[in-house]
Amino acid sequence: MPFQMGVTIYLFYRLGDWLDVKYDVDGGWWTKGLTMLGVVASLYQFIKQANRISKND
């Protein structure tokens, strides 16, 4: 699960970085915003999987 969280956050970061370069955004707002969204999405996935695992026990 930690690897999956890392990959999710990294992919959101790379998307934000690409958008910042493509649209020439000062301050890296796409990178910052999408990285935070990636953290939230990965935590959601983690909690969902943890609940599923604990139900099966």
pLDDT value of residue 41: 97
Sign of CA dihedral 22, 27, 30, 34: positive
DSSP 24: T
**pLDDT given at position 1:** 81
Residue 48 has a pLDDT of 95
- Helix orientation angle between 2-22 and 29-56, rounded to the nearest 10 degrees: 160
Q: What is the pLDDT of residues 2-52, one digit of tens each?
A: 899 999 999 999 999 999 999 999 999 999 999 999 999 999 999 999 999
pTM above 0.85, yes or no: yes
